[in-house]
Structure 1
């Protein structure tokens, strides 16, 4: 592992001794972390003093519920040490999902699911290794000031010659929003600003199934739009928002002039299920050049190939701005695909989506009147 990943101090704060032991073992074996401190957190004040004394580069914080003292510790850490990234350790339960989503909205950078039984911890080593190594590698690229800047759009103007290379665009009939690390925080911002929309919206976030169900219910509370977790044979309706369920691939299909959702347990793609690439590939197959892809904060490559297919078909791509994204690896890779792709602050994405859909409809109506 490169030297820049070794010189870091990590705090593991969790009331469960087995969780602390397992995470400590995995961190030492897989990441070469220079300093590792595991705490039980008997008193929040004492833990805060330890954080002040050691100034860790990363905190792994176990939170069983939003009523726990660790949840109040999270609030204190984010308020007192906003530059220290916090990753939540939450159980794969509705209670754990609510704790994770609430913590992410407060400013935690990510969550890591942990077993809620002692027996499960024994077999969790592989899961921890798979999740922890990418998190450690992402640390140098994390933007801990994300979403604190002004609402400024950073756009690029494509040349006429380049524009002519793209196929003729038609009215957008589907919006697909994808993201990974940091994407959940932006989702709340984007969806809260979309009070009305004339097409179906698909959301794919890399989360386990229980968490996607809670995410859909939580998003439904902040918008007049109807947000729900996608189900097998759900009909895609204008103005409806569908969250792809965790653990399954979500694909779109056309059936008797109706566009529908298919859920299946196919093989993982680039280690992911659900996969943004899989969803976008099927979206282009059904909607051709009438797809708008929107990419939020995240790392990895899932979504890059799907974005290429959207562009080649003649659809549109928007990405979250580097200034507002917690991790710009994925949006940055997407934007590099074509000079026509603009980046927007998280505060602007929702309104930009609506604006583009209205502009398309107005242009189409005007063209019909003229002709």
Structure 2
């Protein structure tokens, strides 16, 4: 039996970008471009007419922009994956974060130089194709009402050291779907949380700055982008800046942030594994870590180290994750003490911190 192809609708007001995207997608044997649209009005009409499996949607367009089109698409098709196309600018970052808050599934950034066609096609293919596969994947093949991700049962937990006391730091790692998950989790943590919070969200520069500012406005905790040498303070949330790993270092009785641009890990910088690994060295079993929605398995190896040191680890469940890659990897490896829906995680984290 032939596996049905993933049907993609490409929406962008630039003929060049439409050409780049369609060419990149047609190189993937399991994808099919079923239509293109040049503005938001066309996009809404084409979604209704063509019933695609996924939409790539530009933000800045005439007649009806991407945000407006997304709102209308979501009203008609609440579960249709929509991937925004964004520019690496403050305006693009702000619009992308707004789109994610309105229900966009993910985003990709436009190539900075579309003058070299081959380079643009490669950049788009490398970003977009894995996201489409992750967001649609088994959903296209599963009957109605059947869970769409193939889940392995958790393995037996590996040997852990006994807990050494109340956690002294909260670590959070996330990727696809992470900005919305953070926007729902952090506001439910109180200002008197009593421990520092460090977050790795896979995002490029500028985007992480805007994300921190947005989260700071909605959270009782102080949220900002981390800077090299920052002291780690209770009640403060530090977001890893785009294109920089965040490590923790203990010296003279205090813990500080160290930023670097070392090699990517799991194709990411910042990488969750880097933060978790350094936290295992500094805090050992006195860390509490949670892995939220995200594609891939970044955070798995760091979680192994934390678990071996006696740290407590929690993961978001499959049902509430946009992509159950990162939390699924931790859960199926038997490393998670709890696998919970997103809305139950804040209370469970708070309970662990105050046990």
- With normalisation by structure 1, the TM-score equals 0.85
1:252 counterpart (242, 248, 251): 248
**Counterparts of 1:1-371 in structure 2 under 5 Å?**
4=3, 7-41=5-39, 44=41, 46-64=42-60, 69-115=65-111, 118-119=114-115, 123-138=119-134, 139-141=136-138, 165-196=160-191, 197-338=193-334, 341-359=337-355
Cα distance in 2 for partners of 1:174, 1:135 equals 31
Counterpart position of 2:150: none
Cα distance in 2 for partners of 1:328, 1:32 equals 21
Counterpart position of 1:365: none
User: In terms of Rg, which structure is larger?
Assistant: 1
Q: Note closer, same or farther for the CA distance 1:137–1:340 as it changes in structure 2 (3 Å cut).
A: closer
Q: Number of aligned pairs? A: 341
The 4+ residue runs of structure 1 with deviation greater than 3 A are 115-123, 162-166
> Per-residue displacement from partner, 1:230-289 (whole Å, max 9, x unpaired)?
000000001100000111111110121110001111011121111111111001111111
Cα distance in 2 for partners of 1:200, 1:68 equals 42
Q: Please tell me whether the aligned partners of residues 196 and 236 of structure 2 are also in contact (alpha carbons under 8 angstroms).
A: yes
- Helix, strand or coil at the partner of 2:304: helix
- Helix, strand or coil at the partner of 2:163: coil
- Helix, strand or coil at the partner of 1:221: helix
Cα distance in 1 for partners of 2:159, 2:300 equals 22
Q: Please tell me whether the aligned partners of residues 142 and 327 of structure 1 are also in contact (alpha carbons under 8 angstroms).
A: no
**Cα root mean square deviation, aligned:** 2.6
- Helix, strand or coil at the partner of 1:34: strand
Cα distance in 1 for partners of 2:124, 2:332 equals 32
Range that drifts further, 293-302 or 117-126? 117-126
Q: Note closer, same or farther for the CA distance 1:339–1:244 as it changes in structure 2 (3 Å cut).
A: closer
Cα distance in 2 for partners of 1:103, 1:142 equals 22
Q: Please tell me whether the aligned partners of residues 115 and 121 of structure 1 are also in contact (alpha carbons under 8 angstroms).
A: no
Q: By how many angstroms is 1:73 displaced?
A: 0.8
| Unmatched runs of 5 consecutive residues or more in structure 1 | 144-155, 360-371
Q: By how many angstroms is 1:17 displaced?
A: 1.2
Q: By how many angstroms is 1:98 displaced?
A: 0.9
- Helix, strand or coil at the partner of 2:298: coil
Cα distance in 2 for partners of 1:137, 1:51 equals 19
Cα distance in 1 for partners of 2:336, 2:129 equals 34
Q: Note closer, same or farther for the CA distance 1:16–1:116 as it changes in structure 2 (3 Å cut).
A: farther
Q: Note closer, same or farther for the CA distance 1:182–1:232 as it changes in structure 2 (3 Å cut).
A: same
Cα distance in 2 for partners of 1:243, 1:79 equals 32
Cα distance in 1 for partners of 2:158, 2:47 equals 52
Cα distance in 1 for partners of 2:26, 2:95 equals 27
Q: Please tell me whether the aligned partners of residues 24 and 125 of structure 2 are also in contact (alpha carbons under 8 angstroms).
A: yes
Q: Note closer, same or farther for the CA distance 1:195–1:31 as it changes in structure 2 (3 Å cut).
A: farther
Cα distance in 1 for partners of 2:160, 2:261 equals 37
Q: Please tell me whether the aligned partners of residues 163 and 340 of structure 1 are also in contact (alpha carbons under 8 angstroms).
A: no
| Unmatched runs of 5 consecutive residues or more in structure 2 | 141-152
> Per-residue displacement from partner, 1:35-60 (whole Å, max 9, x unpaired)?
4322112x61x432221111000100
Q: By how many angstroms is 1:203 displaced?
A: 0.6
- With normalisation by structure 2, the TM-score equals 0.89
- Helix, strand or coil at the partner of 2:31: coil
Cα distance in 2 for partners of 1:228, 1:120 equals 37
